[in-house]
Structure 1
Amino acid sequence: MDIIETPARSPADWPGLDGIAERRFRLLAIGDVRIEVRATLPDLRFTEVTADRLAYAPARAMVAGTAVNLARAAAGYFKRAGVLARVGDDDYTPVIRRELRRLGLRDLLRVERGAANGVTVMLRDGVAPGRAHGVRLLVAEEDTPNRRLSERDVNAAAGEIRRADVLFLDGYALLSPVSRGALLRAAEIARRHGTLVAFDLVPHDIDARLPAPEVIPLLRLADVVFSEAPTLARLLGRPATMTCSAEVRELLPVMDETVPGRPLWLLRYGASSLEQALAYQRDGLRLEYATGYDDSVERAGFGDRLAAGELFWWLAARSGR
């Protein structure tokens, strides 16, 4: 599971954040699929809203969710990418399926008859002194079909998991006992058949939603873990400032002690937990690099672009190509 010992360049340099001409490898993402409404309120701050308010601002509706967002970015690197998720059975379902086709993603959706699709509303307010992108308010339905993705659903897709080079999972599925079981089952199938397991440690306040013992079993099955360094620190009961390399390095022995094996940790840190990354594997630091994120970059979707590029870089390094 090693990455190359002395990489000549970082994933932000190659393959970069905008895809690659020679697409390779196969990826399967398991996670949320939702309809998301996004709006930015450039002339309004949430602290100013003390009564009902009408605001005209740029807004759009799109197919989103953790699995789609990652797979959308991965389509620029991987020759084949697919999405396994449980969705509802309403007027949004054909919209979701059309978007997967448009993106060239393999549709492994499991439709729950009579259920509505989940809807998320993401609002970002105006920029204030000391803030580059405003504050984000994310309102998400809790009881959605995604929470009921089952081990049976995963077993039905076992062949796709076996054929993938990497299986991408995220922590939102851990919040429901049913989908948590499905996630663990998927990781077990992948490990048994040589498919690499990548895990995104989200939501960023997962430590407030789940005790560490309910998260660590998935970390133990992962070959690569993405996390904002403060998120992982809080989960492991450590101080969560993590804005500089020295602070992140202090977390490394705690990770080694808590999680057996040799997963590759891809830790984000910095003023907004996105500016810098540290790639680490037990027995030694591998690489630190700037991600390319700064105040001029659109934050929405940046993490998925970065993760997709890092996965491709990692797989290319392991294959020697």
Structure 2
Amino acid sequence: MTPPRIVVVGDVAVDVLVEPRSPAVPGADVPARIRMRAGGAGANTAAWLAHLGADVTLVARVGDDPAGRTAVDDLRAAGVRLAATIDRDDPTCTVVVLLTDGDRTMLSDRGAARRLAPADLPSFEEADHLHLSGYVLVDPASRAAARAALAQARAAGVSTSVDPQVAPALGPAFLDDVRGVDLLLPNAAELAALGGVDELRDVVGAVAATDGPRTARWTDRRGTWTAEPPHADVVDPTGAGDAFDAGVLVAWLGGSAPAAALEAGCAAGAAAVGRLGARPVSSPTPSPARRRC
């Protein structure tokens, strides 16, 4: 039994978490609790994958700055291999996350991440699976790298998954780009933006959709399976979907049935929302894995 070898293509970022102590007023100085945490959807999923026992490599582009160097060191300490390109011109991606009443508003500057290029991609010959962050695919600046990753993974016989992640940017072009992907991992808003699960049946192999604290659903050509997320006291919803992706992928690639894969994803998502920040806090731990023949 060996862990699945997963390549994640996505962003490494610094999250600036802002919790106003009173409603924001234009032109005023509003007291707030401000913290900096490691972030980036791709990096978050990679960290959760390592935490759950996967053999994971993250492909990303970071700035030649303290934030980028710290982020790379943090990910390595979390058990993630890095195929990171250092960008001399743009800073490491930064995301300001405004937290209010259990909800969030995100202000993003992708910086070096938007310059990810096909030349930054590694070989997929030694991988079992490619997971692609939707931020890379929907940004015109990095779209070529995302499309190249999917094409190269398919040519190598590697299974693929995509988390859409940017509901307002989804449309026909996105559907064309993800055609033939094995697993799509949208949340409820992203699924609605794509026209619902019926529109995706002939586009991707399966859809594993989350809806916050409500029922998660897996749909493929065989049918539909569901799982109920465990109760969680929400401290910070940032990264919940990234953790869900990791839980689903480790279980699914390990041979679990759809319902069990959803349950694993929901458990990881619940663990993520119960703390401040988008990453797991403990060291990587073993998990059930797929047998290779």
Spell out the pairing of 1:192-207 with structure 2 (5 A cutoff). Answer: 192-207=155-170
Q: Secondary structure at the match of 1:317?
A: coil
Matched, 1:289 2:234: no
Instruction: Identify which of 289, 292, 299 aligns with 2:237.
Output: 299
Write the mapping of 1:5-16 to structure 2, written as runs, cut at 5 A: none
Q: In structure 2, what is the Cα distance between the partners aligned to 1:190 and 1:254?
A: 24
Shift of 1:70: 0.6
Counterpart residue number, 2:106: 138
Change (3 A) 1:274 1:218: farther
What is the TM-score of this pair, normalised by structure 1? 0.74
Residues 218-264 of structure 1, C-alpha deviation per residue, up to 9 Å, x if partnerless? 3213111000133222233xxxxxxxxxxxxxx4433225x1xx512
Give the percent of matched residue pairs that are identical in Structure 1 and Structure 2.
26
Per-residue deviation at 1:56? Answer: 4.0
Alpha-carbon offset, residue 213 of structure 1: 2.4
Q: Tell me by how many angstroms 1:99 deviates.
A: 0.9
Identify the match of residue 68 of structure 1 among 31, 39, 43.
43
CA gap 1:320/1:26 in 2 versus in 1, 3 angstroms: closer
Looking at structure 1, the residues matched to 27 and 290 of structure 2 have their Cα atoms a distance apart, in angstroms, of 60
Q: CA deviation at 1:310?
A: 0.8
After the TM superposition, which segments of 4 or more aligned residues of structure 1 sit over 4 Å from their partners? Answer: 293-298, 318-321
* SS of structure 1 residue aligned to 2:237: coil
In structure 2, the residue matched to 1:3 is none
| 1:45 and 2:4 matched | no
For residue 172 of structure 1, what is the amino acid of its counterpart?
Answer: Y
1:112-156: CA deviations, max 9, x gaps?
12332222111212x3xxxxx1x31211115x11111111112xx
Aligned residues, how many?
Answer: 259
Q: Is the CA contact (8 Å cut-off) linking 2:118 and 2:148 kept in structure 1?
A: yes
Contact preservation (8 Å) 1:169, 1:198: yes
Report the Cα offset of residue 23 of structure 1.
7.5
Which amino acid is the alignment partner of residue 226 of structure 2? E
Judge conservation of contact 1:30–1:83 (CA < 8 Å) in 2.
yes
Q: 1:296 to 1:152 in 2, by over 3 A?
A: closer
What residue in structure 2 maps to residue 255 of structure 1? 200
The 5-angstrom pairing of residues 146-295 of structure 1 reads 146-154=113-121, 157-158=122-123, 161-207=124-170, 212-236=171-195, 251-257=196-202, 259=203, 263-269=205-211, 273-285=212-224, 287-292=225-230, 294-295=232-233
- CA RMSD in angstroms comes to 2.3
CA distance in 2 between counterparts of 1:234 and 1:79 reads 31
Residues 123, 311 of structure 1: CA spacing in aligned structure 2 closer, same or farther, 3 A cutoff?
A: same
Q: Unmatched 5+ residue regions in structure 1?
A: 1-21, 128-132, 237-250
| Structure richer in strand, relative to its length | 2
Distance 1:229 1:151, change over 3 A: same
Looking at structure 2, the residues matched to 295 and 224 of structure 1 have their Cα atoms a distance apart, in angstroms, of 29
Q: Measure the CA separation in 1 of the matches of 2:129 and 2:53.
A: 10
Question: Structure 1 residues 215 and 54, CA, compared in 2 at 3 Å: closer, same or farther?
Answer: same
- Match of residue 14 from structure 2: 35
**Does the Cα contact within 8 Å between 1:90 and 1:115 map onto a contact in 2?**
no
1:13 counterpart residue number: none
2:76 aligned with 1:101, yes or no?
yes
> Is 1:90 paired with 2:65?
yes
Aligned partner of residue 88 in structure 2, secondary structure: coil
Give the TM-score of the pair, scaled to structure 2.
0.80
SS in 2 for 1:162: coil
- Structure 2 unaligned residues grouped into runs of 5+: 257-288
- Matched letter for residue 308 of structure 1: A
Partner-residue secondary structure (3-state), 2:167: coil
**2: CA distance between counterparts of 1:106 and 1:320?**
20
Q: Distance in 2 between matches of 1:30 and 1:64?
A: 14
**Contact (CA 8 Å) 2:63, 2:89: kept in 1 or not?**
yes
Separation in structure 2 between the aligned mates of residue 88 and residue 275 of structure 1, nearest angstrom: 38
Matched residue, 2:86: 111
* Larger Rg, first or second structure (1 or 2): 1
